[in-house]
Amino acid sequence: MAHTKAGGSTRQKGNRAGKRLGVKIFGGQKVSPGMILVRQKGSIFHPSVGVKMGRDFSLYAVKPGVLKFIHRQGKQFLTIE
């Protein structure tokens, strides 16, 4: 009698395409309005001056300038100077 457990549907799933998440523009780089800065699941990075958060938690620039990452109150913020 075989003792292999039933695989169910979990063993039948193929590879999934990556979601292309992550930081797209790094600190010190110039940005223009509308540029996507970070794609993320949940609010890992938070918006500050000149940055807005989209519906899917992506951060984008609303004014031109230079991007800067700052730490405040144990959180990471993106600001444009």
Helix (H, G, I), strand (E, B) or coil at 71: strand
CATH 3.40.50.1950 applies to domain 20-80: no
- Of 38, 36, 28, 39, the closest CA to residue 65 belongs to 28
Over range 42-71, report the average pLDDT: 97
**Domains of the chain, residue spans:** 20-80
Distance CA 69, CA 49 (A): 11
Give per-residue pLDDT as tens, 9-32. 666 677 888 999 999 999 999 999
Is the pTM higher than 0.85? no
Residue 12 Ramachandran class (φ > 0 left, ψ -120 to 50 alpha, else beta):
alpha
